[in-house]
Amino acid sequence: MEDTKKQTQLSEIGEFGLIARLTEHIQLKNSSTLKGVGDDAAVLSYPDKKIVVTTDLLTEGIHFNLMYCPLKHLGYKAVVVNLSDVYAMNAIPKQITVSIAISSKFSIQAIEELYSGIHLACEKYGVDLIGGDTTSSLTGLTISITAIGEANEGELVYRSGAQVTDLVCVTGDLGGAYMGLQLLERENEVFKVNPNQKPEFEGYDYILERQLKPEARNDIKELLKTLDIKPTSMIDISDGLSSEVIHLCKASKVGCSIYEEKIPLDLQTKEFAEELSINPLVAALNGGEDYELLFTVPLSAYDAIKKEFDITIIGHVVPESEGANLITTGGSVIPLQAQGWNPLMNKVE
């Protein structure tokens, strides 16, 4: 059935009218937010906390394709990718700002759909939307989100703290988001040839959700605190496992050994990779957009960590001189290469 709702053009209400519509239902949740939307700047109060700030930019045609990415899912994902960076610092996100550049092809209702996803993510993760900016675009849609988080000084975790003999751990499973993207791209190509062909998504709900509606690991900070474990280093997996391992090793001036058979892969990831004749290990190492956490912990934490079903020990830290290597199931030692997503080249290298 066709959507018969009247679509309102941006020119009918202008920038300030758009801002008013998008912000009228915002309710502040955090005491640290003294002033949110409605003034020249937001006002935050952090008398006893350390502040973390991160920004991520998503551009149509580079980071997302609106042929198969619903605007509500896009808004949700745009928030999550920023919150993931905050959680990777072992901090708690509290506020975000949202800036968008939009072309005349978008109606008011389309932008409201985008913001419905943004608001949903804010509600789920308990963060306040406190401001941003809107401007015009000649080429489509660009979204820039800044996330602000807080932590006690002693809780913060950086990329630079890994020590030799530490265990290398990951949350969840890897490669699913990349395989979900391959599925969407395949069906989009079919649609271009035959718009009447129904997409074949049955049986692959999980990898589709990993791509279109990822979740940030807001549970890991509290879990590790319960286990009385503080990571020695941590990073989120946005550009593929191999790239993130190398980032962590460079920052910590160490090497590491990652074991192929230990890398966690979901069954759907493996099945669809097999269908496309792709090695699922390649998806995990180079695919990106999983937004799981990669972290190191002292060897003494082994007994506690190995009991957690959603955390996998995939290797250990070695001296810098040994490099960062993948140990295959056959015992071969292969140097890891940063072959994850390169946004400047718009491809997986």
281 and 205 in contact (C-beta within 8 Å)?
no
pLDDT in tens, the chain (349 residues): 445 677 888 778 776 677 778 777 788 888 888 777 765 556 777 888 889 999 899 999 989 999 999 999 999 999 999 999 999 999 999 999 999 999 989 999 999 999 999 999 999 999 999 999 999 998 899 999 999 999 888 899 999 999 999 999 999 999 999 999 999 999 999 988 988 888 889 899 999 999 999 999 999 999 999 999 999 999 999 999 999 999 999 999 999 999 999 999 999 999 999 999 999 999 999 999 999 999 999 999 999 999 999 999 999 999 999 999 999 999 999 999 987 544 434 445 4
By the 8 A CB rule, do 287 and 177 touch?
yes
Length of the chain counted residue by residue? 349
State how far the Cα of 17 lies from the Cα of 113, in Å rounded to an integer.
16
Question: How far apart (Å, rounded) are the C-alpha atoms in residues 157 and 88?
Answer: 8
Decide: 233 and 161 in contact? Cβ < 8 Å.
yes
User: Residue 242: helix, strand or coil by DSSP?
Assistant: helix
DSSP strand pairing (292-297 vs 333-335): unpaired
pLDDT at residue number 13: 77
Cβ atoms < 10 Å from Cβ of 282: 16
CB 49 within 8 A of CB 151: yes
**SS3 for 334?**
strand
CA nearest neighbour of 334 among 256, 274, 248: 256
Q: Which three-class secondary structure state does DSSP give residue 45?
A: coil
Model pTM? 0.88
Neighbours of 55 (CB within 10 A): 13
Alpha helices in the chain (DSSP H): 10-23, 71-87, 108-125, 176-193, 205-212, 220-226, 241-252, 267-275, 280-286, 302-305
Q: What is the pLDDT of residue 70?
A: 96
How high is the pLDDT of residue 4? 62
Sign of CA dihedral 109, 148, 90, 88: positive
Amino acid 23: pLDDT: 78
Tell me how far CA of residue 321 lies from CA of 165, 295, 325, 333, in angstroms. 14, 20, 11, 14
Report residue 346 as tokens.
């718009």
Domains and CATH numbers, the chain: 10-155 (3.30.1330.10), 167-348 (3.90.650.10)
Give the DSSP letter of residue 9: B
Which of 7, 213, 24 has the alpha carbon at shortest distance from 111? 7
- For residues 95 and 98, give the distance between their C-alpha atoms in angstroms, rounded to a whole number: 10
pLDDT given for residue 181 in this prediction: 96
- Per DSSP, the three-state class of 72 is helix
Quote the tokens at residue 159. 């990329």
Give the pLDDT score at 344. 39
What pLDDT is stored for residue 39 in this prediction? Answer: 58
